[in-house]
Amino acid sequence: MTFINRMIASLALVIAISVSLIGGSFAASDKLLLELKDGTVEIRLRPDLAPNHVERIKTLANQGFYDGIVFHRVIEGFMAQTGDPTGTGRGGSDLPDLKAEFTSEPFARGTLGMARSSDPNSANSQFFIMFDQGDFLNGQYTVFGEVTKGMELVDKIKKGSRAANGAVKNPDKIVKMRTADTQ
């Protein structure tokens, strides 16, 4: 390896470490605290990916909209879905639906995505947390956040029946959800 190639490689490493360190900190207003029966999950919101969806989640969370709402659809190895005040998977908030903000960000374990109907511009208040990787969702649903602490608590959410498409009998609920700057 030539001197110039070593210098380029060293510079690339410094840049990668710097970006990693910068990406590790974020504003309290972009940190969501999701209180479950077993403890509190910390979520990093991603306004860089989906500013309108992040704003919606923050607005609803800080209004107390999500408090007491059930995880109505939970599929082992896939995801836990919540955010419907009716608990049926068909409800939403009184706010208008959002236009899709699809990106190339992958659906990995701990990713939060917005639920929607077959219309890509129908996301409202429902969202899901991935238990595992879901590449088949990439570019088709809006990614708006990621679990940074407490994924083991998400894993404890009561699962539904695969035969019933994840419908849960006596489902777990969100105890409380707010941005960290309002706690």
Comparison of pLDDT for 87 and 25, the residue scoring more: 87
- Write out the chain in H/E/C secondary structure: CCHHHHHHHHHHHHHHHHHHHHHCCCCHHHEEEEEECCEEEEEEECCCCCHHHHHHHHHHHHCCCCCCCECCEEECCCEEEECCCCCCCCCCCCCCCECCCCCCCCCCCCEEEECCCCCCCCECCCEEEECCCCHHHCCCCCEEEEEEECHHHHCCCCCCCCCCCCECCCCCECCEEEEHHHC
> Per-residue pLDDT for 1 more than 70?
no
> Per-residue pLDDT for 13 more than 70?
no
Comparison of pLDDT for 31 and 26, the residue scoring more: 31
> Per-residue pLDDT for 26 more than 80?
no
Comparison of pLDDT for 22 and 43, the residue scoring more: 43
Domains delineated in the chain: 28-182 (2.40.100.10)
pLDDT for res 11? 43
